[in-house]
Structure 1
């Protein structure tokens, strides 16, 4: 019994030692302007976020990230949990990083030396040079625009070899707006040269957003040491989207306009083409985030996206993006046609409410093709030809009159039979023409669907090759909508139901997990290979069906 208790005690001790949490630093000596990377790691899977409260006294927490590391060996599968925390010291000196708890295990305390920075170079107001950075709001919507203005105050003109680095906001997109402005002004009554640059920041995650200030570097010379200056760190709150549209479009913007330009010809005939140009101009959203404007093809009209132009410019209100689409329109028959309206729901961040932009329905007329009008005219002429033969009544020619009337009746009957035969033939020919038009329309729709599927697959391939999990999710849905047009696909779950492929199910689950945990670590090669396999299977199946149909027709 004692041996059993001893063995259990040793086993528990070994397990505890194996799961012990460790803490490491990327360096142990920094300045007050530097960032420090603290790494916590434990040999087990942990979903709980560590309590970083003990760090707040001496450090600013600029960001944190969790990573699961899986390794395989002969003894089985091992999973480690790693947390990386970016810190900025609040004070100089020898600072202790206290013990933290991860997965129920405590780490060892660590120490780091933080050296002072010269007041002249430290960026404090009143120094030779310092930053004064501001944001236009302390709250911003997800994917919305945050205007960041960086002002550098300096007593002397800047040399030409100065290096100016933009602010950093994690994985958020930071765009430089316009040219750098230089002017003179005052700060608290002191004269300064002012160098000003505006940026647009587009957050890609909700919650607190830490923005590291811009950085200035002046290379050293034999007479002067290198100079480095960094602006203060700002924090804003990134809000969830205010609503979720049925199409999944979320457009938080300052301004939005939707315009069109089109001139359909007056004498349109089936098979003729004309163009329609749609222009979407938005302030506060990058051009690549603007949605497609072209409506879906209908049964009567074939539309093809000929060209897409994306442009961006800077204004006092931020980034101005324009998406211009040139659409080719071909009616597939004759008559009156209606193009559906184009509706866009967007969120006005200035008024903080939803708004709606739309283009109304458009109508145009297509003339029918020329037909054999001569048939009807000849029939009418034959039916009335007897009226030209006026017979004078004569009592002595009564029998001749009866004979002529009989002849006239026979002639009219033959003319009617001839006209009926011609009209029947014309109707048969017209039915054949309509059938050919229907076959032609179906072929065009099939070609349009194949073209759309091919284009969306190429976009998906680019996203997978770039290992962009967020972009791959959107492109995968677009591709599936064209690959299975008979289904309603608006989610990854619907894609799995349509595919019925276990490999794709696993890869979609992996994509969703990586989007939630570590989107930057996602690899898209396996997903691309699986999608390509699905496409090849369908192509081979279509070739086999075509060969079988040809064999049956020949037999």
Structure 2
């Protein structure tokens, strides 16, 4: 009886403890796997055009996920899929969260997949060896191939190179992506916002062409290397609705490498040493005027617009034209405008310089010839583009007319002698005295008429000078109002522009292109410091919010008042009034 009771108790204890041990085993196995983060690849040796799969797994209850952004330095991430599953075995229950990434190498050599961290657990780094691309050249039988074409293999520094890359496909493509073209010692400008596609017939069969064009400007002499670029393309195919219901599979991705290109970049030739270096296919200079140059009026502005066009240069490469001062003319240059026109052959740059010219007095003025030297890349010689000298005729401030002289009579009348007549009580009239009186009267009349004419002309000239002063004064007032408005709004770029425009009225004979020129002409330490503060504000990456332009405005206003005082002391009409 005692043995029976003992056996019953043992069976009861086993029934109670068995599920308890089972639960404990599950919990212990779960915690055993919780601290594991593993990373693996399906292949660790590949060629540059191959892809491979990276698998990272962790416990499904992790609160974060790996950061894969560090992979983008050496690899292109073609896909990133996340999944999770639960597995029960004799060793316990395993909960897993898995990330599978399809990767493609960006370069050859020994690459490293870095360690990843999830909830303080760290995976191991993995080394990937990437070999050169297959030496088998693409043939016309390939369904998809890539081609690269360079306009030149030898150029001068800063000369344009045209690069064309094409995908030629016999099948439709659902997706294409090219590795970015980046060069260390050259400027690369895409000539299209996106690749263009068109159909071309090759060997009697239609082919889909996707084309990208680039303009490359090498900045240093030596050898410029365009590395092999990888084109990832996905041919169109029917979707496997069972294995890939959402169309995310990237197993049909083709990676097509281009061939490496090497370009010889020569330094500036000796013929161009010390001159402006502008290597171009063609360069021209044209000009337009806002009015005819034959009968300009004193004090009225005329606008000259010069356009420089260069095939093979950007607008930023074209330098400003040299300008020479001309006595009697005041120049007010506007901000130059640079534009670039992109074509399938390259860049066509344009620089437009606009200048307002105000004649200070009448007469004939000659503007000197405008020249710009450039290098013809086709003929390999220096050339000069030019505008001929221009003559301007200004009405006003006329010179004095030549004095009028009495003309002699055409025929001299014969004088006949007559007998003297004696008059009682009178003296004989002297003929020389009579002739002198007549001549004196005629000269007095002529001088009187000339004096009246001269006075009238001087009055007209004075009125024209006053009109010219009023025109300049009105323009100065308008610019001063714009300057004050920019200061009130704390608009630093507009304030700088209007300060320069106003200064050209304040000091018309000076050459003013920067705020430093205004500071030197102002001759005040406070003004120099205020203008320097404005420049620092414009070019600083951390502009100050507490900038107050009122002091600068007061200092500039003092310069205006001093200018008026100087004009009055010289007996001239003030240029402007407050």
TM norm structure 1: 0.53
Number of the residue aligned with 2:364: 336
Number of the residue aligned with 1:90: 108
Could you tell me how far apart the structure 2 residues matched to 1:210 and 1:26 are?
30
Q: Say if 1:545 and 1:309 are closer, same or farther in 2 by CA, change over 3 A.
A: closer
Counting only pairs closer than 5 Å after superposition, residues 344-363 of structure 1 correspond to structure 2 as 344-363=372-391
Could you tell me how far apart the structure 2 residues matched to 1:123 and 1:492 are?
63
Q: Deviations over 1:396-448 (max 9, x none)?
A: 27878726764553343244345445545655666676677678778888999
Cα deviation, residue 370, structure 1: 7.9
Q: Is the 8 A contact 1:133 1:231 kept in 2?
A: no
Cα deviation, residue 494, structure 1: 9.1
Residue among 413, 416, 419 paired with 2:443 = 416
Residue among 180, 190, 207 paired with 1:175 = 190
TM norm structure 2: 0.51
Residue among 206, 210, 213 paired with 1:198 = 213
Number of the residue aligned with 1:158: 173
Partner SS, residue 171 of structure 2: coil
Q: Deviations over 1:495-514 (max 9, x none)?
A: 99889757988999999xx9
Q: Deviations over 1:212-255 (max 9, x none)?
A: 74855669973463548575565657666565757xx5422121
1:321 aligns with 2:349: yes
Cα deviation, residue 199, structure 1: 1.7
Could you tell me how far apart the structure 2 residues matched to 1:293 and 1:551 are?
37
1:287 aligns with 2:318: no
Partner SS, residue 298 of structure 1: coil
Partner SS, residue 201 of structure 1: strand
Partner SS, residue 402 of structure 1: coil
Q: Is the 8 A contact 1:31 1:115 kept in 2?
A: no
Number of the residue aligned with 2:286: 259
Q: Is the 8 A contact 1:341 1:361 kept in 2?
A: yes
Q: Greater shift after overlay, 255-264 or 206-215?
A: 206-215
Number of the residue aligned with 2:421: 396
Q: Say if 1:180 and 1:360 are closer, same or farther in 2 by CA, change over 3 A.
A: same
Number of the residue aligned with 1:131: 146
Could you tell me how far apart the structure 2 residues matched to 1:93 and 1:296 are?
61
Partner SS, residue 299 of structure 1: coil
Partner SS, residue 410 of structure 1: helix
Q: Is the 8 A contact 2:363 2:396 kept in 1?
A: yes
1:540 aligns with 2:557: yes
Residue among 131, 145, 154 paired with 2:160 = 145
Number of the residue aligned with 2:38: none
Could you tell me how far apart the structure 1 residues matched to 2:390 and 2:181 are?
47
Could you tell me how far apart the structure 2 residues matched to 1:168 and 1:94 are?
22
Could you tell me how far apart the structure 1 residues matched to 2:472 and 2:265 are?
43
1:225 aligns with 2:242: no
Partner SS, residue 421 of structure 2: helix
Number of the residue aligned with 1:68: none
Cα deviation, residue 281, structure 1: 2.2
Q: Is the 8 A contact 1:166 1:215 kept in 2?
A: no
Q: Say if 1:90 and 1:172 are closer, same or farther in 2 by CA, change over 3 A.
A: same
Partner SS, residue 542 of structure 1: helix
Q: Deviations over 1:122-142 (max 9, x none)?
A: 998466544333433456555
Q: Identify unmatched segments of 5+ residues in structure 1.
A: 1-24, 36-86, 97-109, 459-463, 466-471, 515-521
Q: Say if 1:279 and 1:31 are closer, same or farther in 2 by CA, change over 3 A.
A: closer
Q: Deviations over 1:89-118 (max 9, x none)?
A: 31466589xxxxxxxxxxxxx966448799
Could you tell me how far apart the structure 2 residues matched to 1:503 and 1:372 are?
50
Cα deviation, residue 343, structure 1: 0.6
Q: Say if 1:484 and 1:337 are closer, same or farther in 2 by CA, change over 3 A.
A: closer
Partner SS, residue 156 of structure 1: coil
Could you tell me how far apart the structure 1 residues matched to 2:429 and 2:283 are?
85
Q: Which has the larger radius of gyration?
A: 2
Q: Say if 1:426 and 1:93 are closer, same or farther in 2 by CA, change over 3 A.
A: closer
Q: Identify unmatched segments of 5+ residues in structure 2.
A: 1-66, 78-104, 115-123, 240-245, 487-491, 572-578
Counting only pairs closer than 5 Å after superposition, residues 481-500 of structure 1 correspond to structure 2 as none
- How many pairs does the alignment contain? 433
Q: Say if 1:489 and 1:238 are closer, same or farther in 2 by CA, change over 3 A.
A: farther
Cα deviation, residue 285, structure 1: 1.2
Q: Say if 1:168 and 1:537 are closer, same or farther in 2 by CA, change over 3 A.
A: farther
Number of the residue aligned with 2:61: none
Partner SS, residue 321 of structure 1: strand
Q: Say if 1:394 and 1:340 are closer, same or farther in 2 by CA, change over 3 A.
A: farther
Could you tell me how far apart the structure 2 residues matched to 1:265 and 1:168 are?
51
Q: Is the 8 A contact 1:272 1:330 kept in 2?
A: yes
Q: Greater shift after overlay, 332-341 or 135-144?
A: 135-144
Cα deviation, residue 289, structure 1: 4.0
Q: Is the 8 A contact 1:130 1:229 kept in 2?
A: no
Q: Is the 8 A contact 1:294 1:327 kept in 2?
A: no
Residue among 506, 523, 540 paired with 2:541 = 523
Number of the residue aligned with 2:23: none
Could you tell me how far apart the structure 2 residues matched to 1:413 and 1:94 are?
115
Number of the residue aligned with 2:87: none
Could you tell me how far apart the structure 1 residues matched to 2:537 and 2:157 are?
24
Cα deviation, residue 485, structure 1: 7.9
Residue among 328, 338, 354 paired with 1:300 = 328
Cα deviation, residue 176, structure 1: 0.7
